[in-house]
Amino acid sequence: MPDMSPAPAPALPSASKLVRSTLIAAAVAVVLLVTVVLPAEYGVDPTGVGRVLGLTEMGKIKVSLAREAAAADSVEAAVAMGGATGTAAPAVVSTPAVAAPPAIPAQSSTANSHVTEIVLRPNEGKEIKLVMRKDARVTYSWSVAGGVVNYDTHADAPGISYHGYGKGTGTPSEEGVLVAAFDGAHGWFWRNRGRQAVTVTLRTNGEYQELKRM
């Protein structure tokens, strides 16, 4: 008759083998953390291997982009809070306020004309303001090379944190006439939400005392 007795159970690894395997796995994890994860994610390279593999530079870029995104989001949050209490005016484009400009001296508006270019890296935001007196008019146009942007045309002044003229998303260009609602700084904020850098070219012509890159 065939042998019907159960097959012997496979031998379990000894406690010493389990400990050795655990220690080897932990050592491999530590090596990967120090040579790959820290350089690639945080730009920290204690061994120098990340620099040789090109991971350290990638990690530094990630950290830099994360800081810029956090700073930009705080600016947009401040603008949104200002927009909730500010007045809405007819007109054109809109931008978030970063800082209140100094009071404008009492003098007549000066005719000016500029062509200004700014480069926006992925997720980066920048702002240009014109110092204008109440009812001053500026003809403007802006266009984007290499993609589209989100924009906010707005104004601010001492005692006025935000006054919106208009805003949009995924826009390649815009033009119109900006009429100052009060003495203050009036202009545009652009944000590049794409994956490639873009160039915004702004053309302004009209009654303003100064053009400021904020």
> What's 64-76 look like in SS3?
HHHHHHHHHHHHH
Using one digit for the tens of pLDDT, what is the confidence trace for 57-84? Answer: 666 666 666 665 665 565 555 555 554 4
pTM value surpassing 0.85: no
Fold of 89-213: Jelly Rolls (2.60.120)
| Nearest-10 Cα torsion for 109, 112, 115, 118 | -30
The ranges of the chain with pLDDT < 50 are: 83-109
> Is residue 49 within a helix (H) or strand (E), and if so which, with residue range?
helix 49-53
What is the DSSP code (8-state) at residue 101?
A: P
Q: Dig out the tokens for 97 from the structure.
A: 């306020």
- 81's enclosing H/E stretch is helix 55-85
The predicted structure's pLDDT at residue 41: 73
What's residue 96's pLDDT? 43
The mean pLDDT of the chain is 78
Domain ranges of the chain: 15-67, 89-213
- Write out pLDDT tens, residues 124-138: 999 999 999 999 999
